[in-house]
Structure 1
Amino acid sequence: MLELHFVTDPQLTPELVDELVDCWTDVSNAGGSVGFVPPVTASDIRETAVAAFARCGDLDHLLVGFDAEGRVACWLILGDAGSWLRSHWRWVLRVMVHPKHQGRGYGSQLMRAAAEASRAMGVEALHLTVRGGTGTERFYAGLGYTEVGRIPKAIRLAPGDDRDEIYMVNRLSLQS
């Protein structure tokens, strides 16, 4: 398994934003469950991406895994829970590994880096949702996440193609 270099809240230069948007586009077009349905272009994603990145460094935190050449290999956002009553946990959003890096263990490395960064911030639990029908809940279960709820047919990909939204949590405070 190749090692990645992880950076929390890297400087969002125009070049890095372009690389993150390109990754998001490629992941979406490869069928990844990251908020879009293929086919999409970078221009389709850019507005959503720029809005998401604008919150990073303050309320949310961007975690990027760079490969040996210094290119974006994977990334996610640790999202603010929206209330001081929930300040002890974060949402894990937009988890993606570039398709050319699939099968190398980068997703597991990314999620472990997210847990480590979250613990360093004093976060006790990470929450995420997955789209039913993709099998990703098995991946997250293997990393310590537990299904805590499900909303049937909450996600509509196309007429007649509704999927469950599955809620999962990883209680970091219970792990060493």
Structure 2
Amino acid sequence: MTVQRSPRFAQFTRPDDVTASLRKELTDCWEDVANAGGAVLATEFPPLPVSTQDVAPVVDGLVGTLHPGRGRLLVATVGGSLAGWLVLRREPHPLGAHCGTVNHVQTHPRFRGLGIGAGLMHRVHDIARDEMGLERLQLSTRGGVGLEDFYRKVGWEEVGRWPGALRIAPGDDRDAILMSLVL
């Protein structure tokens, strides 16, 4: 029996399209990524470690904002298991409606090194441009873990920093790195 190792991508544009099983997988992934030191934390989370009870309501909130024109969930699976995911949102203000924001980019620790993150970033580029009509994407990442190098490799450009804007723990302040991608 051959195990499928190439990622498959699916997007969800409505809350009702996200099954309870997928919500659980998203929650488990986020919990594992955060507790493994991943850069994906939410302001709604308590200090690490986080639990399912901390993460599940935040996942439910994200899923609740899905809408074909304003917010989409993109997931990658490998062999039927969730390998990574992200959220794409259109800027709601009319002056920025041609722009989108990418948030919560995650690759499950079990699937690191397989190109899941790069695949998600290439796919979100196409969805944003071809399906949502966006012209520019932005994201913010945490300094000190090398993620800006990953984003540069997939075409993003650093456009600014907020020094010390993110307090991970007492005495551990990191830069918020602002990235942009013209579509």
User: Is the structural similarity TM-score above 0.5?
Assistant: yes
In angstroms, what is the RMSD of aligned CA positions?
1.5
Following TM superposition, by how much is the alpha carbon of 1:135 offset from its aligned partner in structure 2, in angstroms? 0.6
Q: Unpaired segments of 5 or more residues in structure 1?
A: none
Tell me how far 1:171 sits from its aligned partner. 0.5
The equivalences for 1:25-174 within 5 A come to 25-35=31-41, 38-58=48-68, 59-68=70-79, 70-120=80-130, 121-172=132-183
* Length-normalised TM-score, structure 2: 0.88
**Helix, strand or coil at the partner of 2:134:** coil
% identity of equivalent residues: 40
Give the Cα–Cα distance (whole angstroms) in 2 for the partners of residues 38 and 151 of structure 1. 23
- Partner Cα separation in structure 1 for residue 8 and residue 114 of structure 2: 14
State the shift of 1:163 in Å: 0.7
Q: CA deviation at 1:47?
A: 1.5
Q: Normalization by structure 1: what TM-score?
A: 0.92
Does structure 1 retain, via aligned residues, the 8 Å contact 2:158–2:178? yes
1:6 alignment partner AA:
F
Rounded to whole Å, the distance in 2 between the matches of 1:162 and 1:30 is 18
User: Which contiguous aligned blocks of 4+ residues in structure 1 show a shift greater than 3 angstroms?
Assistant: none
SS in 2 for 1:152: strand
- The answer to whether residue 29 in structure 2 is matched with residue 23 in structure 1 is yes
2:126 is matched by which residue type in structure 1? Answer: E
Distance 1:154 1:75 in 2: 25
